Structure formats: structure tokens, C-alpha cells
Amino acid sequence: MLIGSRYTKNSKIINWSMYRRIFSLLSNFLAKLLLRIPCTDYTNGFRFYSRRAAEIVVNKCGKIGDGFIVLSEIIVVLHSNNHKIGELSTVFVNRKRGESSVNLKLIISSLFGLIKLYFLKKKRHGI
């Protein structure tokens, strides 16, 4: 899997509020702290999958919760199945139309999902 990362050395984020930047950085920091998978952007959906990785995602993911947590779940499942996870620098430009789907309910749900992923990974790997 290849992620168009917002947080590699040469990446840029354009037109995000300070609140959104802080929330995203904290989310990715917490995911990295708990999941310990070498990745800088657990929450970005701009990804490319090999056919084999896509088949694993379809068959094994979506059990933790809805929303953004599925993006972190995919990383955990692919990593635990020995798939390579790469990242490319990207320029992320915030949308000009529409609004973000991030709300308090989704944030709380994702936090609980991240904790579930932590214990799932711990159970699988005996960490």
C-alpha cells in the first residue's frame, strides 16, 4: 500500500485551520504511539493498493468501527499480514466546497476504535 502522506518531509497542507492541523497531528501521534507501525499519516485516505492488499482489506477490515478508524485498521491489518506500507510526499489542499465530516461523535468513536486496535495488535503479536 502506498499513502500520499501529509506528514513526510516535503509534504504541505494548504488552507487548514490551526484547529484542524492540531487535531490531525494529535490523532496521528496517538496512532503512532499506540500502534507502533512505521507510518506518518494513519488517517489519510489518499492511498494506492496492490490487488493482493485490496483483497485483504475487503475480507478482513471494517470490524473495528466506522469513519476514519478504518484507515488505521487497514494499516494494522496489512502490516500484520507482512505487506509493505510506503509513503509519498504530497501537497494536500483543503476542499473549497462542502464541509468536513469530523465531529465530536466521530472523534470519540475513533478514539475507542484506536484503543481496540491497540489491544487487537497486542493480542496478535504478544506485545
Higher pLDDT, 88 or 68: 88
Largest CA distance in the chain: 45
Q: What pTM does this model have?
A: 0.89
Q: Which of 125, 73, 75, 71 is nearest to 101 (CA)?
A: 71
Torsion of CA 7, 100, 115, 123, to 10 degrees: -70
What does the pLDDT average to over 29-34?
95
Residue 116 corresponds to which amino acid?
K
DSSP 95-118: -SSS-----HHHHHHHHHHHHHHH
Give the model's pLDDT for residue 125: 65
Whole-number pLDDT of residue 65 = 81
pLDDT digits (tens, 9 = 90+) for 38-60: 999 999 999 999 999 999 999 99
In the chain, at which residue ranges do the beta strands (DSSP E only) sit? 2-5, 12-14, 47-48, 86-89, 91-93
Mean of pLDDT values over 84-93: 96
